Amino acid sequence: MYNLILFGPPGSGKGTQASLLVDKYDFLHISTGDMFREELSRNTPLGQEARSYMDAGHLVPDEVTIAMLRKRVDQHPDVTGIIFDGFPRTDPQAAELNELMQGRSSQINALILLDVDADTIVERILGRGATSGRADDLKEDVIRTRYENFVNYTSPVFDFYQNLGLAHRVDGTLTPEEVSREIDSIIGREMPAGQ
C-alpha cells in the first residue's frame, strides 16, 4: 500500500494533481473539502455544521473532520493506496492519521507540499470563483483568511512529516504537467517494488 498526502495552501493544485494521480495509479482519493461539499449539497446536519466555517474560510473543528475521515477510510479496507487531499490540516489531525494508518498495519509514505505564494493563490481562486460554485472562492478577504489559516494552523504539519523524513516540496507555480512530473518522480523513488 502507498499512502500520499497532497499538501499545500488553498488553490495550490491539490485537487488537480490528485485527479492526475488517480488516473495513473488507481489510488483512492479522499478530499475532506469535497466530502464536506457533498454533505452540504445533500443538506445533511454535518453539511450544515461545516457550512459556517467553510463560508468564512475557517477550518471545520477537528473532532468533526476526524470522525468523517475515519469513517471514509474504514469503508475502504482493501485499496492499493490512498491520496489524502486537504487532510491532515492540524497537528491533532496528523496524530490521528498516524494512528489510523497503524491500525491498518500501514503508514504514510510521503507528504508533498505544493508551494505557491499568496498572491498567485488569490489570483487563481478568484479566477475560478464564478464557475466553481463555492462561496469561499468569491471574496478576496475569505481567500486570504483561508491562506492565513494554512500558514498558522496547517503549515506546522509539514514539520511533523519532515521530522519523519517523509516531506517533499514541489514548486506549485510550475505548469500542472510539470508539477505532475515532479510528483511522479517522488513516487517513483518512494514506491515499494511491485506496486
Q: Is 29 exposed, middle or buried (0-12, 13-18, 19+ CB in 10 A)?
A: middle
Q: Any known ligand binding at 145?
A: no
Smaller CB distance to ligand AP5: residue 133 or 195?
Answer: 133
Side-by-side strand order, sheet with 167-171? 28-31, 81-85, 2-7, 110-115, 167-171
Selected binder of ligand AP5 within 3, 81, 82, 146 (CB under 6 A): 146
Cα separation, 75 vs 7, whole angstroms: 23
Three cell numbers written together for 145: 483568511
Task: State yes or no: 12 annotated in a binding site.
Answer: yes
Q: How far apart are CA 13 and CA 124, in angstroms?
A: 10
Is residue 59 part of an annotated ligand binding site? yes
Catalytically annotated residues: 14, 89, 128, 134, 146
Residues that bind ligand AP5 (CB under 6 A): 8, 10-16, 32-33, 36, 53-54, 57-60, 65, 86-87, 89, 93, 124, 128, 136, 146, 172, 174-176, 179
Binding residues for AMP: 32, 37, 58-60, 86-89, 93, 134, 146
Residues of each annotated binding site for ATP: 11-16, 128, 174
